[in-house]
Chains A and B, each alone.
Chain A
Amino acid sequence: MKPKLAQWKELLAARHKKENDEEKEEEKPDGRPVTDVPYADVWREYGAKPYWFAGDYCLIRETVYPLDYQHGRYRLGALYEVHERWQEAPFSHPLSCRGFAVRDLFFFDTETMGLSSGAGNIMFLLGHARILGDFVTIRQHLLPYPGAEVALYQSFLSDVDYTTLVTYNGKAFDWPRLKTRHALVRNMVPKLPAFGHFDLYHAARRLWKDKLDSLRLSEVERHILHVERGDDVPGFLAPMMYKEFLQTPHPDRLMPVLRHNERDVLSLIALYIHLSVQLLEADRLADPKEQLAAARWFEAVGETAAARGVYEEASGKGAKEAQAAKWQLSLLYRKEKRYEEAALLWRDLLIHGNGYWKAKAGLELAKVYEHYFRDAAEAHRYAVMAYEAWRSLARMSRQHSEKEEAEWRRRLARLERKKNG
């Protein structure tokens, strides 16, 4: 449960004597380190330069990629194309970059010591990519040792305006942790900008929740973006490697993490391109699941026209998603009071759908015939069919709700009365 008290006492006492004498001599009177950057020449080779501020430094590493660099299935330069298409798209969308310039988009990812959200979780690497002219420029701000955070945030915040970050779960993870660490040095560095954000994790969840086992960026890369990582270190090893780096600050100890982060931000570009294409070409998507998810998303953000178009495409497919699409579409029609068109879809579902759709569509038909078409006999006929579908469904799943049963009976009795009366 806990380390043994006696052992601790001995250990602590022994260390006390040993360490104290050594430390005392090393320390400068004002407590400020007067060190050079260790392995500065190696860092330079890797494209990293120190940034000095208030007696401390952080490292800034810059890497440049050409626009026709192929990352997985996309050229990085394709960002220009999707950006242009968003400007002309007939709908608005949370992922739309209409009104922004390409260079406004900061593809941003961080590395932290842990997952907790408290004050002590150190963020040691802030990486971002943007496309400037003919190049993709990746800039990584590295904390060379804890205690240099003033320099880190000064360098990170002084030259750019991060109002449009593109992240993967940054809204819930990176940004709150960044805010926390920034708060500790807030009086010594520029203010954090207000937070404006494309979070691609939420997009990925909407589109691939059922398709992928895990929505980790690495999984999305592999299955969606077709990015091969090769000898990349897994992200969860980063804290350990940083710890080792602190003991012996040779750049080689940390370069794998920097490269990992570099790949991450490149993947964010590719992912943004891919998601944009998915949405811009939603009516032409081959995968019915993705198509349905895209349509649902349009509907959720109030883009009914776009949603309808995609549902119509999806309902033409032979997959089981087609039935769901028809159902969603029928509800859209109902909302728009286009009952004839809605009824057409419901009849389709009643005839061709499985028990679940039969019960739902039959009920809608019963309602629409009772209240809108005012045809109690038809309404009753549909109600009976729907009720039977519901009953066999309940029998099969062994879930029988007394309340629903009573509702059905009430409806049937009322329609019976109306029919005869």
Chain B
Amino acid sequence: MRKQTLSEWIEQLRQDPNVVYWHEIEPKEANFVPFPDELDPRLGAALKARGIASLYTHQAAAYDAVQSGRNIVAVTPTASGKTLCYNLPVLDAIAKEPSSRALYIFPTKALAQDQRNELNEIIAEMGVSIYSHTYDGDTAPALRQKIRQAGHIVITNPDMLHTAILPHHTKWISLFEQLRYVVIDELHTYRGVFGSHVANVIRRLKRICAFYGSRPTFICTSATIANPKELAERLIGEPVTLIDNNGAPRGRKYFVFYNPPVVERTMNIRQSATKTAVELARQLLVNRIPTIVFARSRVRVELILSHLQAVVNERIGDTTIRGYRGGYLPNERRAIEKGLRSGEIIGVVSTNALELGVDIGQLQACILTGYPGTIASTWQQAGRAGRRQGDSLVVMIASASPLDQYIISHPEYFFARSPEAARINPDNLLILVDHIKCAAYELPFRRGETFGGVEVEEVLDFLAEQGVLNERAGRWHWMSDAFPAHDISLRSAAQENVVIIDISDTARHRVIGEMDRFSAMTLLHDEAIYLHEGAQYQVEKLDWEEKKAYVRQVDVEYFTDANLAVRLDVLSEDRSETRGQMAVRYGDVSVRAMATIFKKLKLSTFENIGSGPIRLPEETLHTSAAWIEWEAVPSRFSPALFEQLLVGIANVLGHLVPVFVMCDRSDLHVVPQLKAPHSGRPTIFLYDRYPGGVGLSEAVFERYEEIMKHVKEWVERCPCADGCPSCIGISSADGPSLKRELVQFLDEQLAVWAGPSV
């Protein structure tokens, strides 16, 4: 059979009744400016040899700003030549003054590898002796010393900076004495907990630079978010100039919203997004159209992958479709990246791990299985298709979740609204104290010295009292036998990940991945089915003490789904607003979570075919939370009915709140309680998943009214009869209409809220 081209397939898609919105992004011409006069001629020649005869407007603006000593953040879409925004000033500076040094920070090792290759090609073309190398866990020990002493451009990641470079700064004197530029790529990834940690790592970096007498200029690049300048300024603690005059061209892009057909009308149940994604991807792949499928979770990725492999295998051979996600080991990921670039792999199923700028060459089509959760992330993922000229296609398939259904039925919301803001809270006490310890290890603190502008004397005194520091004559010295950076992970709350070990081959156990502790409670408990590279593994034993999960490959017809029981206690109440019978509060809570039971669900039908207990110890989390509280159950409701209302509101909140505070669904948890243990009152809690909180629940507190209005509107507009999984969940059949009650109740509450505060 003749293969269809992408254009032909797009025409066919136009006829599909499930396409609910069709958006075309017009091609755009390039905007060029000539090379700046002062550019080093060897660099100019090297760029010309690579086919770059002039600069895009944003590249020139970045160069000019950096020349005048300003920190910048360049915000441009995927494939707009953003790397030149930093490579140009950096290479220019080193070519002119060979003692200059630069530090490149990428969020992942994969990105760093990628950039090193590109950078070294330009350097080779320049014919100038510039030594640039990656410095990460994979760097050969023999090379490390050379990089430390002679590396002009050191390419690394925040974790490596945190544990290997800063604490050993005395081995990096030639870098720190001459550090002119610090490049922070993919700035938008530094948000939430991770961003808050990295902001503190930057504080430490700047402190060490000051010790060695250097004051680097920061060059950041970011995907489109609402507040790149603000984020950059918080991250580096200095004023930053925004560069966003994008001059890069782009091809035509079709952006299609696809809502799977309703298969069960009363319950408003649609065909699953996963199934739809598999079908659309299959059609593209059998026509050999390079396609990337994004899915929201690791489990989804593996499900889609195994289906696609089975369906497509006989048509185009086995290894051409691969999975890509965080749990894979580095060499596995590199092989996938290489295969994609060379064309040996034409299809890839990925979590948002590929959202970042890893170069995987040209893909023509992109399928999003469900709304990625944020507008910024959606554009990032959509940017994976059609990086150069030519038509490209993005299909976003809505899942049944209220958020997805909201987005897909409000395309104007999506296309008109600016992407979300990224938040960090570098002053989170736990994170801050962690990094003050690291900083004190690196260099003693002096009295009056601030840490990124924060007064830290009381923290230093506290640490001195703990015996970690020694204070004398206004100086705090590290005085412990520990190496603090080793105990502090930038990436997650849990300090130790669980290592996943495949014991299928008794003689040859091998590590196939790792997972953070909180996730492991529900995904790696005894008897759980764990999916990796499309294969199923059963967990034989989770050794919680040793943080090891032993798995064996199996072939079963089900997957597992675990329940997490949560107990919440309020520790302190910091902010509060009361209107009438109800109050919204913000403060610290302790969350105790325990995995209780798991269900076995049939793969094809999701039918429950068995269950079992999980025996793991409780994990405790101290964090910040916002909660909505009523004095009592309103008299017109029975407690049972009111509880259902709370569950319904919580259900919608869980889906919608991530839109407003830009976070992943799993970053913020919602828990409804008819009798909260601390007050005995009906309460809905929303808490940050990270110890100490990173400002998500505080944002909820501040935007309470706006959020509740959207909740009400969403429930009102949902086409279901009386509750469905897309809005308030499934209501019990008899009694009054829960949906109507809920809307009326929220109306009253919002009216009260608009009145005077108490």
Q: Which residues of A contact B (CB under 8 A)?
A: 1-2, 4-6, 8-9, 11-13, 15-16, 19-20, 23, 27, 31-33, 113-122, 145-147, 179-181, 183-184, 239, 243, 246
Contact = CB atoms under 8 A, between A and B. Distances in A.
Contacts of A183: 170, 173
Contact of B477 (A31, A146, A180): A146
B200 to A, nearest CB: 15
Contact of A243 (B433, B441, B479): B479
Interface of B: 167-171, 173, 429-430, 433, 440-444, 446-447, 457-459, 461-462, 465, 467, 470, 472-475, 477-485, 493-495, 571-572, 588, 590, 620, 622-623, 691-692
B621 to A, nearest CB: 9
A122 B478 contact: yes
Given A122-B478, A184-B170, 6 more contacts: A1-B494, A5-B429, A6-B588, A31-B446, A114-B482, A118-B441
Contacts of B485: 118
B620 to A, nearest CB: 8
A121 B486 CA distance: 14
Nearest to B469: A146
Given A5-B430, A6-B588, A15-B458, A120 B440 contact: yes
A15 B462 contact: yes
A146 B479 contact: yes
The CB with the most chain B CB atoms within 10 A, among A1, A23, A246, is that of A1
A120 B495 contact: no
A19 B461 contact: yes
Contact of A32 (B440, B442, B473): B473
Contacts of B473: 27, 31-33, 147
A116 B169 CA distance: 13
A181 B482 CA distance: 16
Contacts of A117: 168
B495 A1 contact: yes
B588 A31 contact: no
A119 B457 contact: no
B429 A9 contact: yes
Nearest to A181: B170
Contact of A119 (B433, B443, B480, B588): B443
Determine the main DSSP class of B at the interface with A: mixed
Given A4-B622, A16-B461, A146 B470 contact: yes
Contacts of B493: 1
Contacts of A114: 480-483
A407 to B, nearest CB: 24
A86 B377 CA distance: 73
Closest 7 CB pairs of A and B: A120-B441, A114-B481, A146-B477, A183-B170, A118-B167, A16-B458, A116-B483
A380 B136 CA distance: 55
A336 B37 CA distance: 69
Contacts of A4: 590, 622
Contact of B457 (A8, A16, A184): A16
B574 to A, nearest CB: 10
A114 to B, nearest CB: 3
Contacts of B457: 16, 20
Contact of A113 (B173, B481, B692): B481
Nearest to A180: B170
B677 to A, nearest CB: 16
Contacts of A33: 472-473
Contact of B572 (A6, A11, A243): A6
A16 B462 CA distance: 8
9 contacts: A6-B571, A13-B458, A16-B457, A23-B447, A117-B168, A119-B442, A145-B472, A146-B475, A246-B470
B145 to A, nearest CB: 11
Contact of B483 (A31, A32, A118, A239): A118
A165 to B, nearest CB: 20
Nearest to A5: B622
Contacts of B440: 120
A233 to B, nearest CB: 16
Contacts of B475: 146-147
Contact of B171 (A16, A147, A180): A180
Contacts of A180: 168, 170-171
B172 to A, nearest CB: 10
A147 B458 contact: no
B168 A118 contact: yes
A15 B441 contact: no
B385 to A, nearest CB: 42
The CB with the most chain A CB atoms within 10 A, among B440, B472, B473, is that of B473
Contacts of B443: 119, 184
B477 A239 contact: no
B458 A12 contact: yes
A146 B472 contact: yes
Contacts of B571: 5-6
A8 to B, nearest CB: 6
A37 to B, nearest CB: 14
B225 to A, nearest CB: 28
A209 to B, nearest CB: 23
